[in-house]
Amino acid sequence: MIYLTAFLVPLVYVFLRVFQQKNITHDQELLMIITSYGITAGELLTVTLIVTKGWDIYLPLGTGGAVGCILAARFHKKFFSKKNEKKYFSSELVDECYKTVGLHKSKEK
């Protein structure tokens, strides 16, 4: 069970870190804020796993991180490419989310 956990924790953690980088690159401010909380949880869980199990979980940690990296890049490309942006994220919904958290998305391109 610990090896499955050691695979899944970095998978999600690295997924969120790569997803965060894509959000920064594509100026997705609301998603930057939300993703930061998941990254913090992933960091804490990863450190906890390393402290409790040591080098025994090196392989599942690395493998989970590699899988998370590839999945995040593919996920972001699928849902945030220009052709799919309007399909999955209506501008009205995004604008409403920005207003809710007090941000105003720039209309400039």
| The total number of structural domains that make up the chain | 1
For residue 108, what pLDDT is reported? 47
Q: How crowded is residue 6: how many other Cβ atoms within 10 Å of its Cβ?
A: 24
Give the burial class of 43: count Cβ atoms within 10 A of its Cβ; 0-12 exposed, 13-18 middle, 19 or more buried: middle
The answer as to whether 109 is a domain residue is no
**Inside any domain, residue 37:** yes
Each residue's pLDDT expressed in tens, for the chain with a length of 109 residues: 899 999 999 999 999 999 999 888 888 888 889 999 999 999 999 999 999 999 999 999 999 999 999 999 888 888 776 655 555 555 555 666 666 666 655 554 4
> 28 Cβ partners below 8 Å, 6+ apart?
22, 80
User: Does the residue 107 lie in any domain?
Assistant: no
pTM of the model: 0.70
Give a yes or no: residue 25 inside a domain.
yes
Domain that holds residue 52: 2-101
- Within a domain: 87: yes
Q: Please identify which residue in the block is written with the tokens 């941000």.
A: 103
* Short-list 38, 12, 14, 21, CA closest to 80: 21
Structure tokens, 66: 């590699």
